[in-house]
């Protein structure tokens, strides 16, 4: 009788294991389905944005004049 009890115990464990595998698959499939639905919903809900079209004015291309820097001690008065 002990052998049949061990065998029944192992079968019960196997049944629990396969039930767990099955429920894990179902949960994974449900999550995969909901994430696909969320992706579709978020892309459908977003308003289509217009592409960026930069505008330029003439001042964007005109270079500023270089600042005039006078050096100290180079005056012509000192040469005389």
The overall pTM is greater than 0.95: no
For residue 43, give the nearest of 35, 33, 54, 51 by alpha carbon.
35
Residue 80, pLDDT > 60, answer no
Cα–Cα distance measured from residue 29 to residue 36, given in angstroms and rounded to the nearest whole number: 11
Domains in the chain: boundaries: 1-46
Q: What pLDDT, in 10s, does the model give residues 4-56?
A: 888 889 999 999 999 999 999 999 999 888 766 666 666 666 667 888 888 88
Q: What is the pLDDT of residue 21?
A: 95
Q: Which is more confident, 74 or 31?
A: 31
d(CA 30, CA 13): 26
The pLDDT confidence band at residue 57, using thresholds 50, 70 and 90, is confident
């Amino acid at each position: 009788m002990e052998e049949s009890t061990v065998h029944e115990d192992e079968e019960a464990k196997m049944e629990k294991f396969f039930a767990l595998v099955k429920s894990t698959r179902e949960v994974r499939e449900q999550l995969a389905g909901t994430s696909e639905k969320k992706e579709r919903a978020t892309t459908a809900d977003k308003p289509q944005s217009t592409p960026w079209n930069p505008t330029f004015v003439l001042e964007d291309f005109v270079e500023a004049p270089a600042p005039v820097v006078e050096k100290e001690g180079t005056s012509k008065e000192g040469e005389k």
